[in-house]
Structure 1
Amino acid sequence: MKPEYHLTVQQARYFMLRKHGLINDFKFTGKEGILSFIRQVGCIQFDPIDICGKNPELVLQSRIEHFKKSMLSELLYEERALIDYFDKNLSIFAVEDWPHFDSKRASYQKVSLSREAIDRVIDDVLYYIHQNTFACSKDIHLSEKVNWFWNATSLGRATLETLYFRGELVIHHKKGTIKYYALAKDFIDQEILNCPNPNRTRQDQIEWHILRRIGAVGMLWNKASDAWLGIDEMKAAQRNHAFQSLINSKQVIEVAVDGVEMPLYALEQDRLLLESCLETFKNSNWTETLLPRVSFLAPLDNLLWDRNLIKALFNFEYKWEIYTPSTDRKFGYYVLPILYKDALIGRIEMVNNKKDRTLDVKKIWYEKTFKPDREFKKNLRGSLKKFATFNDCTQVNMTK
């Protein structure tokens, strides 16, 4: 089947960045912008490590104009418009998507790790939370050690996490890295909580999830990718079948990109955006209209979920080296890609020094093809100042 569109690499990049709101003026603003973006991408991946902001906060600060960390917390734990649960690993998504994950919750009903010990105390733990609204593992005085996923842990923690995995508990709030759990029925609207999964079959679920991940990245190909993480029971055969079904039902657009060996797929609902992007390229001076916007991307940013795709479209190789031994790192412990206009031009390592309320810029590595000019340096300084404010820092310290 012949692809509907043939794009240059630069056109493909431009489309991806327009969709993410990462080019020219900000597309998303305030809490409504957060909800709009998360509904567009399906989910943002959670990671608790906080060197200069947690991963979901970093994803949002690069896209949401005037983003504050408190906005995300309020949407999660006060307004309950968002929820923490498993999608692409542990993620944050709109609470109305909860019914789509009933098969995920059902799968955890079958988890047998330390099940006998956990089943013995579940009713008592649920009663305690019912009486006290919420609880963390320290509130549940069950210190007996049991076998758990990474290491042995307390029976109290294992029980709370089991109930959370099964969907009987949700996260009520957090204090630092400590999670406080509450009954799902008390904090999820009953209409959502009792809604059956709209995906009636396993194949429907896979197709829904593939569309969700294409929307999360912008364009994806039909091959093995980290973008598919968290889609249960999907192997190559199921993925191929799902892609063919989505093509036949015209829910995806097949796109050829110069130099990319296989077709990419965008959502049918993004057709107008794709055509608008192509229209932009009819202006031979279109690059002169690009605003000199500098953004710092999260290590687990949606745009970066398929590192091979980023290499193909942006000629940029990125590895999150946080789990790489220090002696083997090419760059640093917690390094963020730098986006300038429509290109990934380097990496930056920053640390939020909370004691001194200083953003320490430890090092910047530029791509060999990029030479920082006066315009870039000016806008870099402006972006660092905004990033410092995002981290509640009062000054920026450039390490020499």
Structure 2
Amino acid sequence: MKSVNLTNKQARQFILLKQGLMGQHKFIKEKGVCDYIKQAGCIQFDPIDVCGKNAELVLQSRVEGFSKDMLYKLLYKDRRLIDYLDKNMAIFNIEDWKYFSRLRASYNEYGRSMDEINDVSDEIKSIIKEKGFASSKDINLNEKVDWAWNPTTLSRAALETMYFRGELIIHHKKGTIKQYAIASEHIADEILNASDPNLTEDEHQSWRVLRRIGAVGMLWNKPSDALLGIDGLKAANRKIIFQRLFQEGKIIEITIGNIPDSFYCLPEDRPIIDRVLSDNEFKCRTEFIAPLDNMLWDRKLIKVIFGFDYKWEIYTPVLQRKYGHYVLPVLSGDRFIGRIEIVNDKKLNQLIVKNFWFEDDIAFHDRFAESIYDCIKRFSKFNNCEEIKLGCKIG
């Protein structure tokens, strides 16, 4: 199959159009949330909430009319979405539950403190059935057991293991506290017990590689955070999978300008390629991008294609930080023009803009000021803030 040749600008436009971050909004309200997550496979969940949780930040930049309660409703009331393991902890469409049956089975076969957990699992199910849902605080099993990095209570270890096994799901969350429920009471049997469409581990890995290519827009055959969570995917079989997918016509090869590496996208995205090959002008939008946004999963790829070097510095010691604790990339048109540090002060109901940094190669700062301020206003509404406090000059 013949490769597609794109300029660097066209490659940027392709990724952004695919992501719904350029041109007219293609993801609208609740349907748009589900449509985007279906396209992306999953969005990564992280509980830290400085100016919105990561999953909420991903959606606010793409989905017109998005609100935080919209995601909560789709997860815990309508149950069209579910939170479970994919790329680390993630949110995906409930119809994809069947693809992770081998992962759930693996948690039945091995894990820490299995004997202790198996001994109390029936008791925990009885408590949850009686109450409807329960957190670790409701399960009075406080003996310490071996767990992850540090010992934890048997209550927590058992609930999390039963959740990983698929016996329990998250009923809802109150802040960061998870309330668990019996999976069979909230997921239809035809979904809960559906057979895995992938018959072999090789088929499963190939499916997940395709899923991650679709999540970013394009990927190359290199080690990448975009491939996190695909168990057993080593360099040798990753190479085989990419080669086979290309030979079978399940991915399209893309070359970009003078970049020596090959990139790959999904065949269903060929219409987007045709758009960028025939049209140079698309509606310019300015958006604040989540730290763990799907398009940033492969940061080396983003650096090569966009010339943007981003590191999430939340776990970087203060004195070693170049920017700040929780900094969002700022996208305008087909370029990352800067970074913004924003805090949602829930006590004061105030959105505080602490810092803004333009990229070194971005000139005409004043030209971007209006679109950035407009984005701040939208972001304030997204965070339900009544007031905006600017702690820095923009432009």
**Residue identity opposite 1:176 in structure 2:** G
Partner of 1:339: 331
Partner of 2:217: 218
The CA deviation string for residues 102-151 of structure 1, in whole angstroms up to 9 with x for no partner, is 11111111333122221221110011112221100010011111121132
Partner of 2:344: 352
Partner of 1:371: 363
Q: 1:372 to 1:128 in 2, by over 3 A?
A: farther
The CA deviation string for residues 46-65 of structure 1, in whole angstroms up to 9 with x for no partner, is 00000000000000000011
Partner of 2:304: 312
Contact 2:358 2:365 in 1 (8 A): no
**Residue identity opposite 1:332 in structure 2:** G
Greater shift, 88-97 or 372-381, is seen at 372-381
Partner of 1:57: 56
The answer as to 2:87 corresponding to 1:88 is: yes
**Residue identity opposite 2:168 in structure 1:** L
Partner of 2:271: 272
The CA deviation string for residues 370-392 of structure 1, in whole angstroms up to 9 with x for no partner, is 12444421111111011011111
The CA deviation string for residues 72-101 of structure 1, in whole angstroms up to 9 with x for no partner, is 000000000000000000000000000000
Contact 1:49 1:55 in 2 (8 A): yes
The answer as to 2:93 corresponding to 1:68 is: no
Contact 2:117 2:157 in 1 (8 A): yes
Contact 2:169 2:181 in 1 (8 A): yes
1:1-400 to 2 correspondences below 5 Å? 3-281=2-280, 286=281, 290-291=283-284, 293-400=285-392
4+ residue runs over 2 A deviation:
371-375
- Give the CA RMSD over aligned residues: 1.1
Contact 1:55 1:299 in 2 (8 A): yes
Q: 1:374 to 1:152 in 2, by over 3 A?
A: same
Q: Quote the Cα distance in structure 2 between the aligned partners of 1:77 and 1:110.
A: 29
Contact 1:385 1:395 in 2 (8 A): no
SS of alignment partner, residue 347 of structure 2 = coil
Q: Quote the Cα distance in structure 2 between the aligned partners of 1:41 and 1:125.
A: 35
TM-fit CA distance, 1:227: 0.5
TM-score normalised to structure 1 length: 0.96
**Residue identity opposite 1:335 in structure 2:** V
Contact 2:205 2:233 in 1 (8 A): yes
5+ residue gaps, structure 2, are: none
The CA deviation string for residues 28-53 of structure 1, in whole angstroms up to 9 with x for no partner, is 11000000000001000000000000
**Residue identity opposite 1:5 in structure 2:** V
SS of alignment partner, residue 363 of structure 1 = strand
**Residue identity opposite 1:146 in structure 2:** V
Q: Quote the Cα distance in structure 2 between the aligned partners of 1:135 and 1:42.
A: 29
Greater shift, 49-58 or 104-113, is seen at 104-113
Contact 1:118 1:158 in 2 (8 A): yes
SS of alignment partner, residue 220 of structure 1 = coil
Q: Quote the Cα distance in structure 2 between the aligned partners of 1:297 and 1:290.
A: 18
The CA deviation string for residues 125-178 of structure 1, in whole angstroms up to 9 with x for no partner, is 011112221100010011111121132211111110010011110000000000
Q: Quote the Cα distance in structure 2 between the aligned partners of 1:128 and 1:15.
A: 51
Q: Quote the Cα distance in structure 2 between the aligned partners of 1:7 and 1:300.
A: 26
Q: Quote the Cα distance in structure 2 between the aligned partners of 1:203 and 1:241.
A: 10
**Residue identity opposite 2:134 in structure 1:** A
**Residue identity opposite 1:216 in structure 2:** A
Q: Quote the Cα distance in structure 2 between the aligned partners of 1:399 and 1:372.
A: 21
Greater shift, 305-314 or 109-118, is seen at 109-118
Q: Quote the Cα distance in structure 1 between the aligned partners of 2:328 and 2:370.
A: 19
Identity value in percent: 51
**Residue identity opposite 2:152 in structure 1:** T
Q: Quote the Cα distance in structure 1 between the aligned partners of 2:138 and 2:372.
A: 46
Q: Quote the Cα distance in structure 2 between the aligned partners of 1:251 and 1:149.
A: 38
**Residue identity opposite 1:387 in structure 2:** F
Contact 1:316 1:344 in 2 (8 A): yes
Q: Quote the Cα distance in structure 2 between the aligned partners of 1:197 and 1:70.
A: 32
**Residue identity opposite 2:71 in structure 1:** L
Q: Quote the Cα distance in structure 2 between the aligned partners of 1:194 and 1:161.
A: 20
